[in-house]
Structure 1
Amino acid sequence: MNQNQLITLKSDIQSFLKKDVFDLEKKVLSKGWDATFDDLEKKREKVKSIGYWIPQIPK
């Protein structure tokens, strides 16, 4: 991965976190793990599908 690719990846992951994860984190803290488990699973699947799951591991 070259520097430009890394910069783009970092920006994309930051955007994903802001859009999809931070609000869910608030929900987990206010309603608990069990109440948000299905939402967490959906986010995990989304992360895997777009390739951000363990990005430090080469394919």
Structure 2
Amino acid sequence: MKKFVSGFVTGTTITVATLAGLMYGVKKTVIEPMEEKENMVNDNRRKAMRKSRAR
């Protein structure tokens, strides 16, 4: 029984660590670049609005 419990705990820990690493990787490769692009587009939009009002 002791071997089962230790194996179960080890397996659960490894699974949770793997899922956390996967989520971190997806965040770095997919989500953050999209947010950076959105911020860049918004900055360009603000600059264009300022230029159009200055004329």
In the superposition, the TM-score normalised over structure 1's length comes to: 0.43
Structure with greater contact order relative to length (CA < 8 Å, sep ≥ 6): 1
Name whichever structure is richer in helix by fraction: 2
Greater Rg by CA: 2
